[in-house]
A and B are shown apart, each in its own frame.
Chain A
Amino acid sequence: MLLSRVADSLYWIARYLERAEHTARVIEVGLDLGLGRTMASTRGAADRLYASVDVPGAAGGGTERASLLSTALFDVANRNSVAACVTAARENGRQVREEISSDMWEQLNALFLAVRQLQSTIDRDARQRSLCRTVIEGIHLFQGITDATMGHGEGWQYLQAGRFIERAGSTAGLLDRFLIDGATQDDGRLESIYWVGLLRSCCALEAYCRHYTADVRPERVTEFLLLNADFPRSVRFAAARVESAVLALARASGRGAGGRTDRLVGRLHASLDYGQVDEILSDNPQAYLTGISRQCAQVHAALYQTYIAYPIESAIPA
């Protein structure tokens, strides 16, 4: 038994943290790539990374870039900034303080306090870099604590659902940015730096290399990030997790399987399970990725309709 409002907050804690982590990782890699400013494709890679987290044009360099990045990292008025996401996650955590473990809360609060302290650090470069690191590590710690100290019941499943719906959407969005005109890049060497940037920002470079060797090719990168069954940041992996969370929620609430949410998420998962990368790329990759994002949004809406924002009339006892 879980209050609908609590389910809502748990779901959003996980979504906001996932979003913060994603943005932090992308910017961290972008800052790294930005160091080699002479190479056109390096800039192109950083450009696309930043564009995927809504900081278009930030790869150019100079003060303008730095201040754009500050907006993406620290500006609490920007709802998707890392600081705003961490603050929102913590605010949601505060509202479900009795549902999550003390250790989880203390970690969430410590992360929030650390971010707030970094906001006042003077040195901008150091501040940006250490924010990225602090947030990535802090969120990993939070996830570890969550898995180790919270019962893996209904509440935990809402955290899972939020985290993986967000992840499926952000990986798909990032891939979308890189596929826009990725195939028409110039010579091989530069192009691989570009795709390596993408892999790194999904924490996927090492896993990719073990799977395909260090030979980085666009279609393999796409296949890996989209269709790999075992890599935790791939879209398929995320869809599988969303599906198992959704099925668990149906069981926990006593509503039984086979509802609209189950069918939507099952369809998404199946299409990734049986998808072929060559077909996706030769057909219309943009449309395919947009379709993934749309299906994620549908799963979200169905979940809310069933468990959280259901009309009262449908629930009043006879």
Chain B
Amino acid sequence: MLSSTPTDGGRRVPSAVCPSGELFSGYPLDQAYDEMFLHSGEPRPHCRALVEDLLAASLPQLRQHQTEADKAFLTQGITFTVYGDEAGTERIFPYDLLPRIITAVEWATIDRGLAQRLTAINLFLRDIYHEERILSEGIVPRELVYSCRHYRREMRGVNVHRGTYVSIAGTDLVRLQDGRFVVLEDNLRVPSGVSYMLANREVMKRVFPRLFSQYSVNPIADYGRSLLATLRTLAPPNRSDPTVVVLTPGVGNSAYFEHAFLAREMGVPLVEGRDLLTHDNIVYMRTTSGLRRVDVIYRRVDDDFLDPLAFRPDSRLGVPGLLNAYRAGNVSLGNAIGTGVADDKAIYAYVPDIIRFYLSEDPILPNVDTYLLSREADRQYVLAHLEELVVKAVGESGGYGMLIGPHSTSLEREAFRNKILAEPRNFIAQPTLTFSRAACFTGERIEPRHVDLRPYVLYGDRVTIVPGGLTRVALRKGSLVVNSSQGGGSKDTWVLQE
């Protein structure tokens, strides 16, 4: 049980402990938290049934399952579009066979922590676009908010119905060595990936029905209904039976599958900008029975592209006049315009203070320590320790604009040093985290890979968090980047019932 000497390919994995079984040969257990095994090499109690099943399975069986799963994604057309790739523009999002299991106790903390965080963030957004109490009291620096690329002056003094700025969030969590979950970033504009969460579960049930039935896993299939209920709470007052639509940039967008998927799950129309028009500050869609009024738009289009009259004039994805209709209160948007301030990576550093300020509570889910490069002392420290730290551009997402110190060359560090000195406000730094690893099937054996977790939070009458989320996997061995655009995949995420 405790030792095994991997002989495959002459590689020796420098690990003293290793789970038993052929499939697990060479499975390293070191300082990173392993989602499946204890340090002793024993399976964690809630993973025992899964490990036993895997030990009983053969390599060809697992490969067969993998083929089935891949085929299911392909025939369902669950694909994403790779930008800048002419030949095969659609690809399936790599799916790992093995589920990642989260216990009820762990989930309870996540659930409370995210509800708290989003409540505070909505209060913060309302405040910075109205009274600015938090800025006047000096909790968050005024210039940090005003200099944020996603701050929208157009939203000053606009009353957002119920003060719900963010109705749909996808917050990225990682688990550290001690097993605690921490928040890595908030996605408060148009978080994506929820369709993969739902599709992964469907494929899992198809491929591993027996394994699935051995556990009591919380169902997640209700997401569509919850999303619709959340969006309906946004409807302007006096619209008793509101018309909800999903606004997509169109079939060329990398997340188009998801937009169509959500529209279908909710049973509402999927519209493009060209289907909508405004007249007298009211938004209509063009139907076969004439024009029909639209009340709530779940928009999967960024602020910049929403309204060519107000934002980027070259955008053809949006609806001319939408901002005015929105300000007039005749149509609601989920999420509101200007929510990107709160997921700016520099503002992120203040979220614990934001929670304390509005709720007088301590944050339940901690942040990762963050250095703001606009602060003199932080900057000195970071520039001296670039090879240990991860530096991120504040307005970027998708794993772009990042320097991972320990994996970087001196040339890359030099380039980043110059960028930081040119625009310190644009960067933050964080310690390189050893985040947890989950067992993955590589096609040859089972090996651990780094994972994160993105639960999806809905904020309507109340906070609804579907028990589950998207576990993203850095499929390249040793890699810390989980983004689909950079070689990431995903796996089904089980939250167990009590």
Do A and B form a real pair?
Answer: yes
Judge whether A154 and B288 touch: CB under 8 Å.
yes
A4 touches which of B75, B76, B275 (Cβ 8 Å): B275
Name the contact of A316 in the complex, choosing from B75, B76, B263, B279 (C-beta under 8 A).
B279
- Cβ of B183 within 8 Å of any chain A Cβ, yes or no, is no
Indicate the member of B77, B260, B277, B286 with the most A CB atoms within 10 Å: B77
Could you tell me the distance between the alpha carbons of A255 and B289 in the complex, rounded to whole angstroms? 7
Closest Cβ neighbor of A254 among chain B residues: B289
| Chain A contacts with B in 1-50, Cβ cutoff 8 A | 1-7
Chain B contacts of A252 at CB under 8 A?
288-289
Asked if B306 CB lies within 8 Å of chain A CBs, one says no
User: Does A317 have its Cβ within 8 Å of any Cβ on chain B?
Assistant: yes
1/0 contact string of A80-105 vs chain B (CB within 8 Å): 00000000000100111110001001
Q: Which of A97, A98, A154, A254 is the most central at the interface, judged by chain B CB atoms within 10 Å of its CB? A: A98
CB distance from A194 to the nearest CB of B (A): 42
Q: Which chain B residue lies CB-closest to A6?
A: B269
Q: Do A3 and B261 touch across chains, with their CB atoms under 8 A apart?
A: no
Known A-B contacts A253-B288, A308-B288; A5 and B274 likewise in contact (beta carbons under 8 Å)? yes
Q: How many residues of B contact A (CB 8 A)?
A: 30
Are B289's CB and A109's CB within 8 A?
Answer: no
Given A4-B286, A113-B74, are A317 and B275 neighbors across the interface (CB < 8 Å)? Answer: no
Give the number of residues in A that approach B within 8 Å (Cβ atoms).
32
A98 and B263 in contact (CB under 8 A), knowing A4-B275, A106-B75, A113-B75? yes
Q: Is A110's beta carbon under 8 Å from chain B?
A: yes
CB-nearest residue of chain A to B90: A94
Q: Closest A residue to B290 by CB, please name it.
A: A315
B261: which A residues are within 8 A, CB to CB?
97-98
B232-269 contacts to A (CB < 8 Å): 246, 250-251, 256-257, 260-261, 263-264, 268-269
Chain A CB within 8 A of B272 CB: yes
Overall SS of chain B's interface: mixed
Enumerate chain A residues within 8 angstroms of B260, measured Cβ to Cβ.
Answer: 94, 97-98
Q: Which residues of B contact A97 (CB under 8 A)?
A: 77, 257, 260-261, 263-264, 270
Q: Please, could you name 13 A-B residue pairs with CB atoms under 8 Å apart, sorted by A?
A: A1-B287, A1-B288, A1-B289, A3-B271, A5-B272, A6-B269, A97-B257, A97-B264, A102-B264, A249-B288, A254-B289, A312-B291, A316-B291
Q: List B residues at the A interface (Cβ < 8 Å).
A: 74-77, 246, 250-251, 256-257, 260-261, 263-264, 268-272, 274-275, 277, 279, 285-292
Beyond A98-B264, A106-B76, A253-B288, list 13 extra A-B contacts (CB 8 Å).
A1-B269, A1-B289, A2-B288, A3-B285, A4-B286, A7-B288, A96-B270, A97-B263, A110-B75, A113-B75, A312-B277, A316-B291, A317-B279
Which 4 residue pairs of A and B lie closest in terms of their CB atoms, listed nearest first? A97-B260, A98-B263, A98-B264, A253-B289
| Chain A interface (Cβ < 8 Å from any Cβ of B) | 1-7, 91, 94-98, 102, 105-106, 109-110, 113, 154, 249, 252-255, 307-308, 310, 312, 315-317
